[in-house]
Amino acid sequence: MEKFFINDTTLEVELADNFLKRLRGLMFRERLEPGRGLLLAPCNSVHMLFMRFAIDVVYLDENFCIKKIVRDLTPWLGMSVCFGAWGALELPSGEAERLKLSVGQKFERTRGD
């Protein structure tokens, strides 16, 4: 688990940094709690097959700068891509707005316990 900081807020972020973790992603989970996220890296696209809830997806470059934000991606039907992205940070639906995220902002990252 890692901590990401932005706009005076801390997020706890789980890393999906190998093929199997990225493949599974958030599939089959019941929810993702506010203040938590899943970083798929490397990754420039997501699908919503086998998902039970909507999410926001924040695409990042390798310096953790926001390249694109996709809000409220629909379970089962949604898909999204951001060419040139290094990673995709999946957040609970509405979290991007709550955190006041915008393209060009940068996350600060530190390793958690």
pLDDT in tens, 57-104: 999 999 999 999 999 999 999 999 999 999 999 999 999 999 999 999
Per-residue model confidence as pLDDT tens digits over 23-66: 889 988 999 999 999 999 999 999 999 999 999 999 999 999 99
Distance in angstroms between the alpha carbons of the first and the last residue of the chain? 7
CB proximity list for 44: less than 8 A, separation 6 or greater: 59, 81, 82, 83, 84, 85, 86, 88
CB 60 within 8 A of CB 85: yes
Q: How confident is the model at residue 113, as a pLDDT?
A: 53
Q: Mean pLDDT across the stretch 7-29?
A: 92
Pick the CATH number of 2-108 from 3.30.479.10, 3.40.50.720, 3.90.1150.10, 2.60.120.1140: 2.60.120.1140
Q: In whole angstroms, what is the distance from residue 83 CA to residue 94 CA?
A: 23
Domain limits, the chain? 2-108
